[in-house]
Protein backbone atom coordinates (compact mmCIF):
# COMPACT_ATOMS: atom_id res chain seq x y z
CA UNK A 1 0.00 0.00 0.00
CA UNK A 2 1.21 3.50 -0.77
CA UNK A 3 1.02 5.90 2.10
CA UNK A 4 -1.97 8.19 1.90
CA UNK A 5 -1.19 11.70 0.68
CA UNK A 6 -1.68 14.62 3.01
CA UNK A 7 -4.46 17.15 2.72
CA UNK A 8 -1.89 19.82 2.01
CA UNK A 9 -0.44 17.82 -0.89
CA UNK A 10 -3.97 17.20 -2.22
CA UNK A 11 -4.64 20.93 -2.04
CA UNK A 12 -1.47 21.70 -4.00
CA UNK A 13 -2.27 19.07 -6.64
CA UNK A 14 -5.78 20.48 -6.98
CA UNK A 15 -4.53 23.99 -7.63
CA UNK A 16 -2.02 22.63 -10.14
CA UNK A 17 -4.69 20.64 -12.02
CA UNK A 18 -6.99 23.65 -12.19
CA UNK A 19 -4.16 25.88 -13.42
CA UNK A 20 -3.17 23.33 -16.05
CA UNK A 21 -6.61 23.45 -17.64
CA UNK A 22 -6.71 27.24 -17.61
CA UNK A 23 -8.82 27.93 -14.50
CA UNK A 24 -7.65 31.18 -12.92
CA UNK A 25 -7.98 31.39 -9.12
CA UNK A 26 -7.25 34.38 -6.92
CA UNK A 27 -4.87 33.89 -3.99
CA UNK A 28 -7.84 34.03 -1.58
CA UNK A 29 -9.54 31.27 -3.56
CA UNK A 30 -6.41 29.10 -3.53
CA UNK A 31 -6.43 29.37 0.25
CA UNK A 32 -10.07 28.28 0.32
CA UNK A 33 -9.67 25.05 -1.69
CA UNK A 34 -11.37 22.30 0.34
CA UNK A 35 -10.08 18.78 0.76
CA UNK A 36 -12.39 16.22 2.33
CA UNK A 37 -11.96 12.53 3.03
CA UNK A 38 -15.49 12.41 4.50
CA UNK A 39 -13.95 11.06 7.69
CA UNK A 40 -12.96 7.74 6.10
CA UNK A 41 -9.22 8.37 6.40
CA UNK A 42 -8.36 7.14 2.91
CA UNK A 43 -8.30 10.36 0.90
CA UNK A 44 -6.69 8.94 -2.24
CA UNK A 45 -9.44 6.33 -2.54
CA UNK A 46 -12.47 8.15 -1.10
CA UNK A 47 -12.82 11.89 -1.03
CA UNK A 48 -12.99 15.08 -2.99
CA UNK A 49 -11.25 18.39 -3.56
CA UNK A 50 -13.28 21.46 -4.43
CA UNK A 51 -13.49 25.20 -4.75
CA UNK A 52 -16.83 26.94 -4.23
CA UNK A 53 -17.17 30.06 -6.37
CA UNK A 54 -20.60 31.09 -5.16
CA UNK A 55 -23.32 29.62 -2.96
CA UNK A 56 -26.40 31.83 -2.50
CA UNK A 57 -29.89 30.91 -1.31
CA UNK A 58 -30.74 30.38 -5.00
CA UNK A 59 -27.80 28.74 -6.80
CA UNK A 60 -24.30 27.39 -6.36
CA UNK A 61 -21.23 26.87 -8.57
CA UNK A 62 -18.13 24.84 -7.75
CA UNK A 63 -15.26 23.12 -9.46
CA UNK A 64 -14.66 19.59 -8.22
CA UNK A 65 -11.26 17.94 -8.61
CA UNK A 66 -10.69 14.21 -8.34
CA UNK A 67 -7.36 12.45 -8.20
CA UNK A 68 -6.87 9.38 -10.42
CA UNK A 69 -9.56 6.81 -9.51
CA UNK A 70 -10.60 8.80 -6.42
CA UNK A 71 -14.28 8.20 -5.57
CA UNK A 72 -16.88 10.57 -4.17
CA UNK A 73 -18.99 8.19 -2.04
CA UNK A 74 -22.67 7.42 -2.71
CA UNK A 75 -25.14 9.97 -1.38
CA UNK A 76 -28.36 11.82 -2.11
CA UNK A 77 -29.71 15.30 -1.51
CA UNK A 78 -33.05 14.91 0.31
CA UNK A 79 -36.07 17.25 0.23
CA UNK A 80 -35.57 20.14 2.66
CA UNK A 81 -39.01 21.75 2.79
CA UNK A 82 -42.42 21.94 1.12
CA UNK A 83 -40.93 24.10 -1.61
CA UNK A 84 -37.42 22.61 -1.76
CA UNK A 85 -37.30 19.07 -3.22
CA UNK A 86 -33.54 18.86 -2.50
CA UNK A 87 -30.40 19.91 -4.30
CA UNK A 88 -30.32 19.44 -8.08
CA UNK A 89 -26.83 19.14 -9.61
CA UNK A 90 -25.39 19.45 -13.11
CA UNK A 91 -21.93 17.90 -13.54
CA UNK A 92 -19.94 19.17 -16.50
CA UNK A 93 -16.67 17.37 -17.17
CA UNK A 94 -13.83 19.73 -18.05
CA UNK A 95 -10.80 17.48 -17.87
CA UNK A 96 -10.19 13.75 -17.68
CA UNK A 97 -13.01 11.28 -17.42
CA UNK A 98 -15.74 10.76 -14.83
CA UNK A 99 -17.76 7.63 -14.27
CA UNK A 100 -21.02 8.69 -12.67
CA UNK A 101 -23.47 6.20 -11.19
CA UNK A 102 -27.14 6.93 -10.49
CA UNK A 103 -30.33 4.97 -9.86
CA UNK A 104 -31.50 2.92 -12.88
CA UNK A 105 -30.52 -0.13 -14.91
CA UNK A 106 -27.11 -1.26 -13.67
CA UNK A 107 -24.21 -1.38 -16.14
CA UNK A 108 -23.34 -4.93 -17.21
CA UNK A 109 -19.60 -4.20 -16.93
CA UNK A 110 -19.12 -1.02 -14.91
CA UNK A 111 -15.98 0.97 -15.76
CA UNK A 112 -15.42 1.88 -12.12
CA UNK A 113 -15.61 -0.27 -9.01
CA UNK A 114 -16.29 0.96 -5.48
CA UNK A 115 -13.29 1.41 -3.17
CA UNK A 116 -12.10 -1.88 -1.69
CA UNK A 117 -13.60 -2.50 1.72
CA UNK A 118 -16.57 -0.16 1.13
CA UNK A 119 -18.44 -2.21 -1.49
CA UNK A 120 -21.49 -2.64 0.76
CA UNK A 121 -22.06 1.11 0.76
CA UNK A 122 -22.52 1.35 -3.02
CA UNK A 123 -25.98 0.39 -4.27
CA UNK A 124 -26.59 2.17 -7.61
CA UNK A 125 -24.81 1.25 -10.85
CA UNK A 126 -26.53 2.96 -13.74
CA UNK A 127 -23.45 4.29 -15.53
CA UNK A 128 -22.90 7.65 -17.22
CA UNK A 129 -19.46 8.31 -18.66
CA UNK A 130 -18.55 11.97 -18.92
CA UNK A 131 -15.73 13.21 -21.11
CA UNK A 132 -14.64 16.86 -21.44
CA UNK A 133 -17.55 18.98 -22.67
CA UNK A 134 -20.14 16.41 -21.59
CA UNK A 135 -22.57 16.96 -18.73
CA UNK A 136 -25.38 15.30 -16.81
CA UNK A 137 -28.06 16.62 -14.47
CA UNK A 138 -28.92 14.62 -11.35
CA UNK A 139 -32.50 15.09 -10.10
CA UNK A 140 -33.03 15.89 -6.40
CA UNK A 141 -33.12 13.01 -3.91
CA UNK A 142 -31.42 10.58 -6.34
CA UNK A 143 -28.60 8.34 -5.11
CA UNK A 144 -25.32 8.96 -6.93
CA UNK A 145 -21.57 8.44 -6.69
CA UNK A 146 -18.70 9.07 -9.06
CA UNK A 147 -15.12 8.13 -9.72
CA UNK A 148 -12.43 9.74 -11.86
CA UNK A 149 -10.64 7.84 -14.62
CA UNK A 150 -6.91 7.14 -14.62
CA UNK A 151 -5.85 10.78 -15.15
CA UNK A 152 -8.12 12.27 -12.50
CA UNK A 153 -10.84 14.74 -13.43
CA UNK A 154 -12.06 18.30 -13.15
CA UNK A 155 -15.83 18.73 -13.05
CA UNK A 156 -17.80 21.97 -12.90
CA UNK A 157 -20.84 21.62 -10.69
CA UNK A 158 -23.77 23.96 -11.33
CA UNK A 159 -26.58 23.45 -8.82
CA UNK A 160 -29.28 24.79 -6.59
CA UNK A 161 -28.15 25.92 -3.14
CA UNK A 162 -25.57 23.70 -1.51
CA UNK A 163 -26.20 22.62 2.08
CA UNK A 164 -23.67 19.88 2.72
CA UNK A 165 -24.93 19.12 6.23
CA UNK A 166 -28.17 17.70 4.83
CA UNK A 167 -26.52 15.23 2.41
CA UNK A 168 -27.36 11.62 3.17
CA UNK A 169 -24.51 9.17 2.58
CA UNK A 170 -25.11 5.43 2.18
CA UNK A 171 -21.97 4.67 4.22
CA UNK A 172 -22.92 5.08 7.89
CA UNK A 173 -19.28 5.83 8.78
CA UNK A 174 -19.32 9.05 6.80
CA UNK A 175 -19.44 12.35 8.58
CA UNK A 176 -18.88 15.34 6.32
CA UNK A 177 -16.32 17.27 8.30
CA UNK A 178 -15.54 20.91 7.90
CA UNK A 179 -11.91 21.42 6.88
CA UNK B 1 -16.54 53.05 -40.08
CA UNK B 2 -15.60 49.38 -40.33
CA UNK B 3 -18.32 47.19 -41.69
CA UNK B 4 -20.11 45.26 -38.98
CA UNK B 5 -19.10 41.64 -38.69
CA UNK B 6 -21.62 38.96 -39.48
CA UNK B 7 -23.30 36.78 -36.88
CA UNK B 8 -21.58 33.77 -38.39
CA UNK B 9 -18.16 35.40 -38.00
CA UNK B 10 -19.02 36.35 -34.40
CA UNK B 11 -20.02 32.76 -33.72
CA UNK B 12 -16.72 31.48 -35.11
CA UNK B 13 -14.69 34.01 -33.08
CA UNK B 14 -16.61 33.03 -29.95
CA UNK B 15 -15.82 29.34 -30.37
CA UNK B 16 -12.17 30.21 -31.03
CA UNK B 17 -11.92 32.39 -27.89
CA UNK B 18 -13.49 29.68 -25.73
CA UNK B 19 -11.15 27.05 -27.17
CA UNK B 20 -8.13 29.28 -26.60
CA UNK B 21 -8.83 29.48 -22.87
CA UNK B 22 -9.40 25.74 -22.57
CA UNK B 23 -13.20 25.53 -22.63
CA UNK B 24 -14.23 22.27 -24.29
CA UNK B 25 -17.50 22.35 -26.22
CA UNK B 26 -19.25 19.45 -27.89
CA UNK B 27 -20.19 19.82 -31.58
CA UNK B 28 -23.86 20.20 -30.56
CA UNK B 29 -22.89 23.03 -28.21
CA UNK B 30 -20.86 24.79 -30.90
CA UNK B 31 -23.96 24.77 -33.08
CA UNK B 32 -25.98 26.32 -30.24
CA UNK B 33 -23.70 29.32 -29.58
CA UNK B 34 -25.97 32.38 -29.56
CA UNK B 35 -25.13 35.74 -31.07
CA UNK B 36 -27.42 38.67 -30.29
CA UNK B 37 -27.28 42.31 -31.27
CA UNK B 38 -30.47 42.95 -29.28
CA UNK B 39 -32.01 44.29 -32.48
CA UNK B 40 -29.73 47.37 -32.56
CA UNK B 41 -27.91 46.32 -35.73
CA UNK B 42 -24.44 47.20 -34.46
CA UNK B 43 -23.17 43.88 -33.14
CA UNK B 44 -19.54 44.88 -32.71
CA UNK B 45 -20.55 47.77 -30.46
CA UNK B 46 -23.67 46.44 -28.73
CA UNK B 47 -24.39 42.79 -28.24
CA UNK B 48 -23.30 39.53 -26.77
CA UNK B 49 -22.25 36.00 -27.64
CA UNK B 50 -23.10 33.15 -25.31
CA UNK B 51 -23.43 29.46 -24.70
CA UNK B 52 -25.97 28.18 -22.18
CA UNK B 53 -24.83 24.99 -20.46
CA UNK B 54 -27.90 24.47 -18.32
CA UNK B 55 -31.06 26.40 -17.49
CA UNK B 56 -33.46 24.63 -15.13
CA UNK B 57 -36.32 26.03 -13.05
CA UNK B 58 -33.75 26.45 -10.24
CA UNK B 59 -30.40 27.57 -11.69
CA UNK B 60 -28.59 28.51 -14.86
CA UNK B 61 -24.98 28.50 -16.10
CA UNK B 62 -23.62 30.18 -19.22
CA UNK B 63 -20.36 31.41 -20.65
CA UNK B 64 -20.58 34.93 -22.09
CA UNK B 65 -18.12 36.10 -24.71
CA UNK B 66 -17.54 39.75 -25.58
CA UNK B 67 -15.53 41.09 -28.47
CA UNK B 68 -13.07 43.92 -27.76
CA UNK B 69 -15.02 46.86 -26.26
CA UNK B 70 -18.36 45.23 -27.10
CA UNK B 71 -21.10 46.32 -24.66
CA UNK B 72 -24.01 44.39 -23.21
CA UNK B 73 -26.64 47.15 -22.89
CA UNK B 74 -28.12 48.32 -19.57
CA UNK B 75 -30.93 46.18 -18.19
CA UNK B 76 -32.42 44.72 -15.03
CA UNK B 77 -34.13 41.48 -14.08
CA UNK B 78 -37.45 42.40 -12.45
CA UNK B 79 -39.40 40.44 -9.81
CA UNK B 80 -41.44 37.68 -11.44
CA UNK B 81 -43.72 36.52 -8.64
CA UNK B 82 -44.35 36.66 -4.89
CA UNK B 83 -41.56 34.15 -4.37
CA UNK B 84 -39.23 35.17 -7.22
CA UNK B 85 -37.53 38.57 -6.69
CA UNK B 86 -35.96 38.37 -10.18
CA UNK B 87 -32.83 36.82 -11.60
CA UNK B 88 -29.66 37.02 -9.49
CA UNK B 89 -26.38 36.79 -11.44
CA UNK B 90 -22.77 36.08 -10.55
CA UNK B 91 -20.25 37.15 -13.20
CA UNK B 92 -16.85 35.46 -13.00
CA UNK B 93 -14.20 36.79 -15.38
CA UNK B 94 -12.17 34.04 -17.01
CA UNK B 95 -10.30 35.91 -19.72
CA UNK B 96 -9.65 39.55 -20.57
CA UNK B 97 -11.16 42.35 -18.58
CA UNK B 98 -14.74 43.38 -17.92
CA UNK B 99 -15.97 46.77 -16.80
CA UNK B 100 -19.28 46.21 -15.03
CA UNK B 101 -21.58 49.08 -14.07
CA UNK B 102 -24.33 48.86 -11.46
CA UNK B 103 -26.43 51.23 -9.37
CA UNK B 104 -24.40 53.21 -6.81
CA UNK B 105 -21.81 55.97 -6.58
CA UNK B 106 -20.73 56.77 -10.15
CA UNK B 107 -17.06 56.37 -11.06
CA UNK B 108 -15.24 59.70 -11.38
CA UNK B 109 -13.42 58.52 -14.53
CA UNK B 110 -15.18 55.45 -15.89
CA UNK B 111 -12.93 53.04 -17.80
CA UNK B 112 -15.67 52.31 -20.32
CA UNK B 113 -18.03 54.65 -22.11
CA UNK B 114 -21.43 53.74 -23.54
CA UNK B 115 -21.63 53.08 -27.29
CA UNK B 116 -21.75 56.29 -29.32
CA UNK B 117 -25.29 57.30 -30.13
CA UNK B 118 -26.79 55.32 -27.23
CA UNK B 119 -25.50 57.43 -24.32
CA UNK B 120 -29.02 58.37 -23.18
CA UNK B 121 -29.79 54.72 -22.49
CA UNK B 122 -27.04 54.30 -19.90
CA UNK B 123 -27.88 55.60 -16.43
CA UNK B 124 -25.76 53.68 -13.88
CA UNK B 125 -22.01 54.17 -13.49
CA UNK B 126 -20.86 52.50 -10.30
CA UNK B 127 -17.81 50.68 -11.67
CA UNK B 128 -16.54 47.19 -10.91
CA UNK B 129 -13.48 46.01 -12.81
CA UNK B 130 -13.21 42.25 -13.18
CA UNK B 131 -9.97 40.54 -14.11
CA UNK B 132 -9.52 36.77 -14.56
CA UNK B 133 -10.48 34.96 -11.34
CA UNK B 134 -12.51 37.90 -10.05
CA UNK B 135 -16.28 37.84 -9.71
CA UNK B 136 -19.24 39.95 -8.66
CA UNK B 137 -22.84 39.12 -7.78
CA UNK B 138 -25.61 41.42 -9.02
CA UNK B 139 -28.72 41.47 -6.83
CA UNK B 140 -32.13 40.99 -8.49
CA UNK B 141 -33.83 44.02 -10.04
CA UNK B 142 -30.58 46.06 -10.17
CA UNK B 143 -29.70 48.00 -13.31
CA UNK B 144 -26.41 46.85 -14.89
CA UNK B 145 -24.40 46.93 -18.08
CA UNK B 146 -20.91 45.78 -19.00
CA UNK B 147 -18.22 46.25 -21.57
CA UNK B 148 -15.13 44.16 -22.39
CA UNK B 149 -11.64 45.64 -22.36
CA UNK B 150 -9.41 45.88 -25.42
CA UNK B 151 -8.83 42.12 -25.74
CA UNK B 152 -12.47 41.09 -25.36
CA UNK B 153 -13.57 38.92 -22.45
CA UNK B 154 -14.94 35.56 -21.40
CA UNK B 155 -17.24 35.61 -18.36
CA UNK B 156 -18.89 32.66 -16.65
CA UNK B 157 -22.40 33.53 -15.51
CA UNK B 158 -23.85 31.53 -12.61
CA UNK B 159 -27.42 32.55 -11.83
CA UNK B 160 -30.94 31.70 -10.86
CA UNK B 161 -33.23 30.64 -13.71
CA UNK B 162 -32.80 32.65 -16.90
CA UNK B 163 -35.93 34.01 -18.55
CA UNK B 164 -34.66 36.46 -21.14
CA UNK B 165 -38.12 37.60 -22.21
CA UNK B 166 -38.66 39.32 -18.87
CA UNK B 167 -35.45 41.39 -18.95
CA UNK B 168 -36.10 45.13 -18.94
CA UNK B 169 -33.67 47.17 -21.06
CA UNK B 170 -33.23 50.91 -20.59
CA UNK B 171 -32.99 51.40 -24.37
CA UNK B 172 -36.57 51.34 -25.71
CA UNK B 173 -35.31 50.21 -29.13
CA UNK B 174 -34.10 46.91 -27.74
CA UNK B 175 -36.01 43.76 -28.44
CA UNK B 176 -34.24 40.58 -27.41
CA UNK B 177 -34.62 38.52 -30.53
CA UNK B 178 -34.33 34.79 -30.68
CA UNK B 179 -31.53 33.74 -33.03
ZN1 LIG C 1 -24.28 15.20 -4.95
ZN1 LIG D 1 -28.21 40.69 -16.49
Please report, for chain B, the start and end positions of each structural domain, with discontinuous segments joined by +: 7-169
Chains A and B form CB pairs within 8 A to the count of 80
Is the Cβ pair B83, A83 closer than 8 Å?
Answer: yes
| Residue A63 Cα to chain centre, angstroms | 9
Beta bridge partners of A135: A92
pLDDT score at A81: 94
Mention every residue, 6+ apart, whose C-beta is less than 8 A from residue A79.
A85, A86, A140, A141
pLDDT band at A74 (very low <50, low <70, confident <90, very high): very high
Asked if residue B84 lies in contact with residue B104, where contact means CB atoms within 8 angstroms, the answer is no
CATH number for the domain running over A7-169: 2.60.120.10
pLDDT interval class at A179 (50, 70, 90):
very low
Cα B89 to ligand 2 centroid, rounded to whole Å: 7
The per-residue pLDDT for range B87-122, each reduced to its tens digit, is 999 999 999 999 999 999 999 999 999 999 999 999
Contact criterion met (CB < 8 Å) for B60 and A59: yes
Torsion sign over Cα A128, A131, A135, A137 = positive
**Residue A2 to residues A27, A43, A45: CA-CA distances in angstroms?**
31, 12, 11
Q: Which residues of B touch A133 (CB under 8 A)?
A: 24-26, 29
Task: Tell if the CB–CB gap between A26 and B134 is shorter than 8 Å.
Answer: yes
Query: What is the model's pLDDT at position B179?
Result: 45
Whether A78 and A86 have beta carbons less than 8 Å apart is answered as yes
Query: Where does the pLDDT of residue A177 fall: very low under 50, low under 70, confident under 90, or very high at 90 and above?
Result: low
Q: Between chains, do B24 and A133 touch, taking CB under 8 Å as contact? A: yes
The parts of chain B modelled with pLDDT lower than 70 are 1-3, 176-179
> Quick one: pLDDT at residue B159?
98
**Per-residue pLDDT at A5:** 85
**Does A92 score more than 80 pLDDT?**
yes
Tell me, what's the pLDDT at B177? 54
Chain B residues whose C-beta is within 8 A of a chain A C-beta are: 21-26, 29, 53-54, 56, 58-61, 83, 88, 90, 92, 94, 132-135, 137, 156, 158-160
Q: What is the dihedral of CA A9, A12, A14, A16, to 10 degrees?
A: -140
- The Cα–Cα gap between B125 and B144 comes to 9
pLDDT of residue B5: 85
Q: Evaluate whether B104 touches B126 at the Cβ level (below 8 Å).
A: yes
Amino acid sequence: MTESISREEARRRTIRMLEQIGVVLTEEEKAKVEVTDMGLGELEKSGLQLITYINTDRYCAKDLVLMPRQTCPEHRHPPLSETNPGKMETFRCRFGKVFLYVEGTPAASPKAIPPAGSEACYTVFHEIELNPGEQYTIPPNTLHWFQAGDEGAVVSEFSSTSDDESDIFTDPRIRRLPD
